[in-house]
Amino acid sequence: MLAVGLTAPMATQLLAIAGVAHAQPKSQYKPAKRGGGGLLKVLWWQGPTLLNPHFAVGTKDQDGSRLFYDPLAAWDPDGNLKPKLAASIPGREDGTLAADGKSVVWKLKQNVTWHDGKPFTADDVVFNWEYAKDPATAATTAASYNECVVEKIDQYSVMVKFAKATPFWADAFVGTRGMIIPKHLFADYIGAKSREAPTNLKPVGTGPYMFKDFKPGDMVSGVINPNYYENNKPYFDAIEMKGGGDAVSAARAVLQSGEYDFAWNLQVEDEILARLEKGGKGKVEISPGGNIEHIQLNFTDPWTEVDGERASLKTKHPTLSDPAVRQAISLLVDKDSIEKHIYGRTGPATANFVNNPARFVSKTTKYEFSVDKANEVLEKAGWKKGGDGIREKDGKKLKFVYQTSINQPRQKTQAIIKQAAQKAGIDIELKSVTASVFFSSDVANPDTYTKFYCDIQMYTTTMSQPDPEVFMVQFASYEAATKENKWQGRNITRWQNKEYDDNYKAAQSEVDPVKRAAMFIEANNMVINNYVVIPVVMRPGVAATGTKLNASISGWDNNTWDLSDWYKDA
């Protein structure tokens, strides 16, 4: 795992902090010509619901968009930046990375065209900044673009300026949140009209495949881009991304039957995966990163409506606002059993929200499972058991609705926690939502995780860069998901804490890598010690590939980050 910046001299610290290596790894790509590889069949058992990367809700939409759109640069499995639409990675050596950390110049490839034949230029890059930062656009990528100014230098170079020193400059235009959409097709749909753009569902990008068809939640298909900007790529003539089903059937379709070449996000018990692998048709690919399966506790009241909005910032949760209740719930999560009996190699138990890279990991946190201690904490706080065995105080009972998406490991985790909670006088109603609904981008859907219209919920949140800055913005007060921002704010728990905000903002401009790492460790500790969320297990990327498929999967970027390089052995 990448550990960057600790020994770098000051002249290269800004580069090192971002995890950028000076030398790119040599490509292992072997095909000598473009095309000829037939159809690539891939399974995303939660199918994409839209194909505009600025509206992507979760990895399914980001991965689907990445078939057609590229960013300026991507993160490889080792946490290094690899050029995509950029001609090179900015650095101190050529002056494209400013010594004061306040600006970076991106030089663009000059042989790139959009799928409709129009040239890709600096105007497109500047437009994406304007589009994403406009509040009326309500882009999920807004946080990556709000704190910078982007200026065109010439047709093939742009400057990104920051108001203060910005050690993690490789955010805007990079990786999962950096895909570039075409100005000429979206300029009339910026701001309030953003959701009306026809190209939201029929992408015209610069990527390796050109759009053919899209049935939201079911199927995305594309054909080879004959004018792709990299020689001899892509290898496959067409791609079909199938959605729907569940993780177990997806694993079987690659590992057992060989019907598909790739299956995404195998949230399947490790015992089942090991058994399926014995069929010899495919293999399980585990890619380390920073993703975390975690439980969120609602700091607002999801059962009371204020000005037409549930879980409003104008409310506080009637029982979870008590730290003792949150602490007790944390003590009732048997992480070791969840690891041992459910996730195995695909989910080690953890006390931390930030688990990678190593220099950002707190060494002072710990987790404990104890029903007895949970009972003690609640008794001391005045929560007494009533005749029905449920604890109550001031007329309020410890009764919670706990939701997650439907897949076997999550339902088993819910059952383990519910059983322990009963022994502590906490009544938990389990709610399981179809994954395509839970992770939907439909703002009218009341059951999405971004609405969080219940007390407790659980899912995996992704850390898509080898740096926690973007990842940890999800606890900043100003990122709260609200009706006003169409529930696109990243702070789903709606926890409000000025100390956290101040520490986070200071870390954003701290150029000393050791001090900056300490600030993010403190941010992690605040979240854990305040029981804002309860980490359950680390979630490395788990996918299945056919035995002949060569696919580089990065734990720091989309599964489809390097799709142009995928090929099959003869």
The percent helix, strand, coil of the chain (3-state, each to 5) is 30, 20, 50
338 and 256 part of one domain: no
| 560 within some domain | yes
Q: Where are the beta strands (DSSP E) in 253-389?
A: 262-263, 282-287, 292-297, 305-306, 309-310, 384-385
Distance of alpha carbon 435 from alpha carbon 308, whole angstroms: 26
Q: Looking at 417-527, which runs of residues are DSSP E strands?
A: 427-433, 456-461
- Count of CB atoms within 10 A of residue 154's CB? 10
Q: Tell me, what amino acid is at 538?
A: M
Residue 132 tokens, joined: 């994403």
The verdict on 69 and 114 lying in the same domain is yes
Residue 19: inside a domain, yes or no?
no
Longest dimension (CA), the chain: 75
> ∠ CA 549-550-551 to the nearest 5 degrees?
105
546 in the same domain as 530: no
Residue from 58, 55, 147 nearest 459 by CA: 58
SS3 391: strand
Q: Indicate whether 442 belongs to any domain.
A: yes
Same domain, 79 and 163: yes
Based on the domain organization, do 499 and 397 belong to the same domain? yes
What local confidence, expressed as pLDDT, does residue 495 receive?
A: 98
Residue 33 belongs to domain with CATH number? 3.40.190.10
**Quick check: 167 and 14 in contact, CB under 8 A?**
yes
CA distance 391 to 398: 6
Q: How far is the C-alpha of 50 from the C-alpha of 202, rounded, in Å?
A: 9
Is residue 534 domain-shared with residue 547, that is, in the same domain?
no
Is residue 532 located within the same domain as residue 545?
no
Helix (H, G, I), strand (E, B) or coil at 319: coil
How many folded domains does the chain comprise?
2
Instruction: Note whether 384 and 523 are same-domain residues.
Output: yes
Residue 352 belongs to what domain range?
A: 292-538
Residues 278 and 246 in one domain: yes
In this prediction, residue 27 carries a pLDDT of 47
SS3 245: coil
Q: Identify the three-state secondary structure at position 479.
A: helix
pLDDT at position 11, please? 30
Q: CA 419, CA 332: separation in Å to the nearest integer?
A: 9
Q: For residue 6, is it within any domain? A: no
SS3 148: strand
Domain presence at residue 236: yes
Q: For 217-270, what is each residue's pLDDT tens digit?
A: 999 999 999 999 999 999 999 999 999 888 899 999 999 999 999 999 998 889
- Residue 547: DSSP 8-state: T
CATH (domain of 379): 3.10.105.10
Residues 357, 404 within the same domain = yes
- Give yes or no: residues 455 and 564 share one domain: no
Q: Write out residues in the chain with pLDDT < 70, as ranges.
A: 1-27
Q: Take residue 316 and report the two structure tokens written for it.
A: 């506080």
Q: 265-285: buried (b, 16+ CB within 10 Å) or exposed (e) per residue? A: bbbbbbebbeebbeeebbebb
Q: Which tokens hold the place of 256?
A: 């057992």
In a domain, 309, yes or no: yes
pLDDT of the residue at 298? 98
Residue 23 has a pLDDT of 36
- Looking at the domain assignment, is residue 351 inside a domain? yes
Supply the pTM of this predicted model: 0.74
Asked if 490 and 557 sit in the same domain, the reply is: no
Q: Is residue 109 part of a domain?
A: yes
What pLDDT score does 254 carry? Answer: 97
